[in-house]
Every structure is written in C-alpha cells, then in structure tokens.
C-alpha cells in the first residue's frame, strides 16, 4: 500500500511524458493516489488523455489558468466525478520566449512581465481560491519553482521575477490556508529538459554546468522531483508547510565550484 492511498490529486500542467508534472503524477499514482488531469488546449488534449489512461484515470478536463471562467468551469466539471479531493499540483509557467535570453533590462517588457507573473504565480492563487470548497481537511497544494527565483541566472530573466513571486505566494497562501488544515509547499527543481525549458536561451549549457558542479555530479530527473512532491503532499509531511524544498542534486548549496 502506498502512502497516498485513498488520496485524490488534481494535476495541472502536464504537457508530455517529459513534463515535471508527469513525474509528479506518475509518482503519486505509484503511491496509490487517484488522479485527475487538465489540459491547456485541444492540441494537448489527446496527449494528456493518453497519459491519464496510463494511470487508470478518465478524468481529463480543459483549463486555461489565464481565465477565471475556465478555472470555475474546471471545478464545476471536476464535481461531476469527485465531491472533494486532497491534492492540487500546480506545474504551470510561461514567459515570452524572446524575453528569456540576452540582457534582462533591455529585453523585459511591461506586457511580458505581467504575463509571466499572471501565468506563473497568480494562477496558483486563483486555482486555490476555486478549489478551496472542495479540499478535504489535511489536504495539500504543491507548486514548482527554480533557483532563478532567489539568484540571478543567465537568460532566466523575467521568469526569475515570476518564480520569486510564486515562492512568496506559497508562503502567504500557507499562512492563509493553514487554519483550515491545508498545507502549501513548493519544490525548487534543478534544470530538466522539458518543453517549457526549451524556451530558455543556452539551456544545454545550464544542464552541463549543473552536472559538472552539483555535489551529486548529475542533473535530477522528473522521477526524483515527483517522488519528493509525493512525499510533501502525503500525511508523512503533515508538519511541513510554506516551504520551498530543493531537489537539484545539491547545486543550490554550492558557493564556488572547483577550479
């Protein structure tokens, strides 16, 4: 029996079997959770449905996190299958590709900044607000961040600001939702080759650098991130909330690499 037996988890952000969200979903499924999924648009629908089937789930619903109406419709649709649930996984981020390379000051625009914050940070609050009436006691909300939230990183640019906002969001949400028994945490994952990461300039160099300098001398996998998320959303982590947990082969602990 897995440690998420009898838990229900809504996974938002799966785009392919290389998505961090899929690593989280797969880990939770292996630990016994019942899953539901969302897809952003019709282009991704069949792909997400196929992955959902692999976990035994037939609950796949549309959701555009940029639309309050779409978020409301998501939970109305989910109520057709579940009266309540235990885990909300938010693995969503976006910034215009042209702003994820080069000089931060020159390349960052007002609209790009607004969009990055709205999709990557505010959407977590919007989803939590809509999900709140359906969340059971002792439930959990999880989101995904990156080291660029707290340190400047080449080419990460406006997404670093958005992730910093997300991490603050997690802390404020943890305080607001804690009295009703809802825990809110984040994982700061090391760089992983995903569809979203492909938009970051010189991403291959980033992977190589982490592999050469992280204490474990490797990049992490979606499975490793997924396992950590499954733990943090389980009753085994009942005393943990408002935290950002690093799953990055120890890279964030390094002050100066060997020379």
Q: Per-domain residue ranges for the chain? A: 8-249
Q: In the chain, pLDDT over 90 holds for what percent of residues?
A: 89
- 172 in catalytic set: no
Assess whether pLDDT exceeds 60 at residue 18: yes
pLDDT at 242: 98
Q: What is the sign of the dihedral through the CA atoms of 166, 181, 129 and 136?
A: positive
Mean pLDDT of the chain: 95
pLDDT band of 204, cuts 50, 70, 90? confident
* Digit-coded pLDDT (tens) for 42-64: 999 999 999 999 999 999 999 99
Whether residue 97 has pLDDT greater than 60: yes
Query: Does residue 103 surpass a pLDDT of 90?
Result: yes
Share of the chain above pLDDT 70, in %: 96
- For residue 200, the model assigns a pLDDT of 65
pLDDT at 256 over 90: no
Q: Which residues contact 249 (CB under 8 A, 6 or more apart)?
A: 190, 210, 214, 215, 216, 217, 218, 219, 220
Q: What is the pLDDT of residue 205?
A: 85
Residue 203, pLDDT score: 73
Query: Residue 195's pLDDT band (boundaries 50, 70, 90)?
Result: low
What pLDDT is attached to residue 259? 60
Q: pTM above 0.85?
A: yes
CA distances in angstroms from 244 to 35, 107, 142, listed in the order given: 24, 28, 10
pLDDT of residue 108: 96
Per residue, the 3-state secondary structure of the chain, as one string, reads: CCCCCCCEEEEECCCCCCCHHHHHHHHHHHCCCEEEEEECCHHHHHHHHHHHHHCCCCCEEECCCCCHHHHHHHHHHHCCCCCCEEEEEECCCCCCHHHCCCCHHHHCCHHHHHHHHHHHHHHHHHHHHHHHHHEEEEEEEEEEECHHHCCCCCCCCHHHHHHHHHHHHHHHHHHHHHHHCCEEEEEEECCCCCCCHHHCCCHHHHHHHHHHHCCCCCCCCHHHHHHHHHHHCCHHHCCCCCCEEEECCCHHHCCCCCC
Q: Domain 8-249 has what CATH class? A: alpha beta
Residue 146 annotated as catalytic: yes
Query: Is it the case that residue 157 has pLDDT exceeding 70?
Result: yes
Give the model confidence (pLDDT) of 205-244 as tens digits.
888 999 999 999 999 999 999 999 999 999 999 999 999 9
Provide φ and ψ at 9, rounded to 5°: -130, 130
State how far the Cα of 29 lies from the Cα of 48, in Å rounded to an integer: 15
What is the pLDDT at residue 193?
75
User: Which residues are bridge partners to 12 per DSSP?
Assistant: 90
Decide if pLDDT at 258 tops 80: no
Encode burial over 11-40: b for 16+ CB neighbours within 10 A, e otherwise: bbbbbeeebbbbbbbbbbbebebbbbbbbb
What pLDDT is recorded for position 196?
Answer: 63
pLDDT of residue 93 exceeding 80:
yes
Task: Pick the catalytic residue from 156, 172, 175, 246.
Answer: 156
Of the candidates 39, 146, 246, 251, the residue annotated as catalytic is: 146
The answer to which of 15-19, 157-161, 203-207, 243-247 has the lowest mean pLDDT is 203-207
Q: Is the pLDDT of residue 6 over 70?
A: yes
The predicted pLDDT at position 199 comes to: 59
């Amino acid at each position: 029996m897995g440690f998420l037996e009898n838990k229900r988890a809504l996974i938002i952000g799966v785009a392919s079997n290389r998505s961090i969200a899929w690593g989280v979903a797969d880990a939770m499924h292996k630990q016994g959770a019942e899953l539901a999924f969302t897809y952003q648009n019709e282009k991704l629908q069949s792909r997400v449905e196929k992955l959902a089937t692999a976990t035994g789930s037939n609950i796949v619903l549309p959701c555009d996190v940029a639309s309050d109406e779409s978020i409301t419709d998501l939970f109305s649709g989910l109520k057709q299958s579940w009266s309540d649930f235990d885990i909300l996984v938010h693995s969503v981020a976006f910034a215009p590709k042209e702003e994820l390379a080069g000089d931060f000051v020159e390349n960052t625009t007002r609209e790009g900044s607004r969009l990055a914050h709205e999709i990557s940070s505010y959407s977590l609050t919007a989803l939590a607000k809509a999900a709140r009436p359906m969340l059971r006691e002792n439930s959990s909300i999880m989101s995904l961040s990156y080291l660029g939230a707290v340190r400047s990183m080449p080419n990460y640019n406006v997404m670093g600001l958005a992730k910093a906002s997300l991490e603050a969001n997690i802390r404020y949400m943890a305080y607001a939702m804690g009295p009703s028994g809802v825990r809110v945490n984040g994982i700061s994952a090391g760089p992983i080759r995903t569809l979203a990461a492909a938009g970051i300039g010189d991403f291959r160099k980033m992977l190589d650098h982490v592999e050469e300098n992280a204490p474990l001398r490797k990049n992490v996998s979606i499975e490793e991130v997924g396992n950590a998320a499954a733990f943090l959303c389980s009753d085994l982590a009942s005393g943990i909330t408002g935290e950002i947990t690093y799953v990055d082969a120890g890279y964030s602990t390094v002050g100066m690499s060997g020379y």
